[in-house]
Copies of this chain bind each other. A is one copy, B any other.
Amino acid sequence: MALTLEGIARLAGVSRSTVSRVINDHPSVRSEVREQVWQVIHETGYQPHAAARSLVTRRTRILGVVIPEPIIKLFTDPFFPILLYGITETCNAQHYHLMLSLFHHPAEQDDQYRRIVGNGHLDGVIVASAHMDDPLPLRLLHDGIPFVVVGRYPDERVHSIDIDNFGGSCQAVEHLIRLGHTEIATISGPLTMTSGADRLLGYKQTLSAHGLPLNPDLIIEGDYTEGSGYAATKRLLMTPATAIFAASDIMAIGALKALHEAGKQAPRDMAIIGFDDVPLASSVQPALTTVRQPIRQLGSAVAELLMGILADPPEPGSAAHKSVLPTHLVVRQSCGAAG
């Protein structure tokens, strides 16, 4: 491991510069020399020292993934693991490394931000946030650190990729309407999160588009946890609702439980549709109709976008990349349309 460029150069009978050129794929090296040098590199297992290299190139090939504190509660939700899976997959392929930062305590956040971002460790950052008022993107913008947001962020300078929360919930609610329901309730996600707000908007607009009234009693804000789905459903059982669109599968599972306890069952007494298509969704009783979102692709796309920005920085004034990945309805038993 104590091997340096100079050592390889000596072994190959060339100069330090030539070895450097070979490693960095510089064209002006004779092909015999190039092969000769590669051979020595392979034989010795030489790897350039990352710190020395990035001291001069100002690049580390490390991306940061920052998951802010409010979201961490949801970490047992499969969303983040799958997202990370997609991100690492793409990073590996392009020989980038990944630094994971979970912001635990808001009080430490400032200090942590500086440690992570200020010392040149990272080439760019993936912000896995979905809070509209997250201050992190603005700070990164101010510091000139390339970054990409997972989700939607209401600032035109911010690059982001989201899944189609709005479209997905439109599909879900439309499906319920098509099945003849008119009293359709929703258990929303937290409205401070863009996904929560967007899924609720899809619900509202679809009802309106079909001339159905919005009944405030049928709209209950949850927080993506099973408990909140359970509690909301207890209340909804006292309304005329015949169908529930839950903004997450986990909440839908809570709804199923409340139904069960009340001696009722889906879809006979209440149609249920969830959102996410977590692995569990297909194996609960009854299997959950839900909106599938391409989480892994989202991770890949976000990593790809960031690496693209690093490789070829967009012009200062140009518009930020904003895109949306499609979602689609997966019909199973809980809505009453299948087998």
Within the complex, what minimum Cβ distance (angstroms) separates A281 from chain B?
12
A119 within 8 A of B: yes
Cα–Cα, bound, A60→B100 (Å) = 15
A88 and B100 within 8 A (CB): yes
A121 and B97 within 8 A (CB): yes
Give the oligomeric copy count.
2
A48 and B104 within 8 A (CB): no
Chain B residues positioned under 8 Å from A14 (CB to CB): none
Cα–Cα, bound, A88→B257 (Å) = 34
Within the complex, what minimum Cβ distance (angstroms) separates A49 from chain B?
5
Residues of A234-265 whose CB lies within 8 A of B = 254, 257, 260
Chain B residues positioned under 8 Å from A1 (CB to CB): 118, 120, 143-144
Q: Kindly specify which of A75-83, A192-200, A203-211 makes contact with the partner chain.
A: A75-83
Chain B residues positioned under 8 Å from A17 (CB to CB): none
Chain B residues positioned under 8 Å from A55 (CB to CB): 49, 51-52, 55
Cα–Cα, bound, A254→B284 (Å) = 9
Chain A contact residue count (CB 8 A cutoff): 55
Within the complex, what minimum Cβ distance (angstroms) separates A268 from chain B?
17
B98 and A85 within 8 A (CB): no
Given contacts A50-B121, A51-B51, whether A116 and B97 have CB atoms under 8 Å apart is yes
Cα–Cα, bound, A75→B78 (Å) = 8
Cα–Cα, bound, A95→B85 (Å) = 25
A75 and B80 within 8 A (CB): no
Cα–Cα, bound, A54→B119 (Å) = 12
Q: Kindly specify which of A107-115, A133-141, A165-173, A315-323 makes contact with the partner chain.
A: A107-115
Residues of A78-132 whose CB lies within 8 A of B = 78, 80-82, 84-85, 88-89, 92, 95, 97-102, 104, 108, 112, 114-116, 118-121
Chain B residues positioned under 8 Å from A227 (CB to CB): 283
Cα–Cα, bound, A108→B114 (Å) = 34
Cα–Cα, bound, A179→B301 (Å) = 53
Would you mind naming 22 contact pairs between A and B with Cβ atoms under 8 Å apart? A1-B144, A47-B119, A49-B119, A49-B120, A50-B120, A65-B100, A75-B85, A76-B78, A76-B81, A76-B278, A80-B81, A89-B104, A92-B102, A92-B108, A92-B112, A95-B115, A97-B99, A97-B121, A226-B279, A226-B283, A230-B283, A257-B283
Given contact pairs A85-B102, A99-B99, A280-B280, a sample of 6 additional A-B residue pairs in the complex whose CB atoms are under 8 Å apart: A1-B118, A50-B119, A50-B120, A75-B82, A84-B100, A254-B283
